[in-house]
Structure 1
Amino acid sequence: MSATLWISFFSYAVTTAISPGPNNILALHEVSTYGLNKSKSLLLGIYAGFLCVMIVCGTFSLILAAYMPGVMHYLKTIGFVYILYLAYRTATSKRPGKEERRPASSSFLRGFILQFLNVKIILWGLTSFISYVLPSYSSMTAIACFILLSAAIGNTATHLWAVAGALLHKVIGRYWRPVNLIMALLLIYSAISLLL
């Protein structure tokens, strides 16, 4: 891969990973609501699921692009509906009381499963592999390295949003309703952008 292609790959990967999306919004919301310690399980689920999705994208990108292009339409539709559901849940959630425990749905499994419904990262992974990696590299070692690199970029971006949730906890707590509505609107934007 040439230096220009590397720069292009990193520009695309970092910009897309850091933009608002289901992982980033959910991490911000979860940590600002329940704190970093109580959100670790969900965050670990997101990180593990993201890595698994990158493995799938790296392994099957050529097959999906060449033989099953129609599957992307169904993934987009499922992802669109699920992201709208997350937006609804965010917009209508109630402020937790001091004694309220995190919901059972804030689990490793919830974070993990979200990755397989998160069309943003699926498309991000497929685009990365089809546009940048596979034209220059075909060895399993190179693909494995790009799987790890992609997972590191995506999970770092999500973790930055989680840290922002921890740092802005008091501000978010004070302006609970407007912040939740803004996050819900960002999720709606993410959902709509999948269909454009």
Structure 2
Amino acid sequence: MSASVLLSMSSFALVASISPGPVNLLVLSTGVRFGWRSAMPLVVGASSGFTLLLWLIGMGLSEVWQVLPWLRTLVRMAGVVFLLWLAVRLLTASAELEIDSSVRPSGALTGALMQWLNPKAWLASAAGMGMFVDAGSTFGVTGYALLWGMICLASISVWALVGGHMSRWLRSAPQQLWMNRVLAILLMMSAVLLGLA
């Protein structure tokens, strides 16, 4: 594989992984509210879930998507409902500066589910595999999935770190409440766009 192909693969993965989206917004919010370390299970879950999805699509799962078109609608609608549920949770979250010990940050399973219920993750996976991997190449599929998985992990971690650092500026309850509402509205917008896709 040439250096230019590797650079193209990595650039595509980076842009797709680091650009704002529902997973990154939830990671940012978790970082703000609980600190970047508490957001890391969500980051690892989202990255692992995406890597598995990418690998399975490369191994032929995208053919199932084509044969069963109702599956695409089902995944999209489940994704919309899941994003709206997360947005409502964020919108109704308290702005208490002291973290209630009964409230836990979203974990690895939530991150993985968000990726599997996101048709954009499916489409990016299919596009990436189609552009950069020869059909039927198990080695190529696995290599690309691992490369993208590492880039995804690093990219989403940036959102957790940014959230952790933002918490320093969001010291008052009104500031935290404002941030929760902005992020909730962005998640709702993502859900609406997903529903229209």
TM bucket, shorter chain: 0.7 to 0.9
Per the alignment, residue 26 of structure 1 pairs with 26
Mapped to 1, the partners of 2:43 and 2:179 lie a distance apart of 20
In structure 1, the partner of 2:132 is: 133
Name 2:161's counterpart in structure 1: 163
Q: Number of residues paired by the alignment? A: 194
Give 1:161's aligned amino acid.
W
**Shift in Å at residue 20 of structure 1?**
1.7
Residue 68 of structure 1 pairs with residue 103 of structure 2? no
Q: Percent identity?
A: 26
For the 8 Å contact 1:34–1:102, the answer to whether it is kept is: no
Residues 90 and 181 in structure 1, CA contact (< 8 A), matched pair in contact too: yes
1:89-123 CA-partner distances (Å, limit 9, x unpaired): 11221124425226246333333333322333222
Given the two structures, how large is their TM-score scaled by the length of structure 2? 0.82
CA distance 1:189–1:99, change in 2 (3 Å): closer
Q: Which amino acid aligns with 2:132?
A: V
Structure 1: distance between partners of 2:110 and 2:67: 30
TM-superposed CA distance for 1:25, in Å, is: 0.8
Give the unaligned 5+ runs of structure 2.
none
Going from structure 1 to structure 2, the CA distance change for 1:190 and 1:73 (only over 3 Å counts) comes to same
Q: 1:150 matched to which residue of 2? A: 148
CA-based RMSD of the aligned residues comes to 2.7
Alpha-carbon distance change, 3 to 105 in structure 1, aligned in 2, over 3 angstroms: closer
Query: Do the aligned residues in 2 keep the contact of 1:46 with 1:111 (CA within 8 Å)?
Result: yes
Q: Which runs of 5+ in 1 are unaligned?
A: none
Matched to 1:147, the amino acid is: A
Structure 1 residue 52 and structure 2 residue 52: aligned? yes
Does the CA-based 8 Å contact 2:49-2:115 persist in structure 1?
A: yes
Q: CA deviation at 1:51?
A: 2.2
Partner of 1:124: 124
Distance 1:173 1:116, change over 3 A: farther
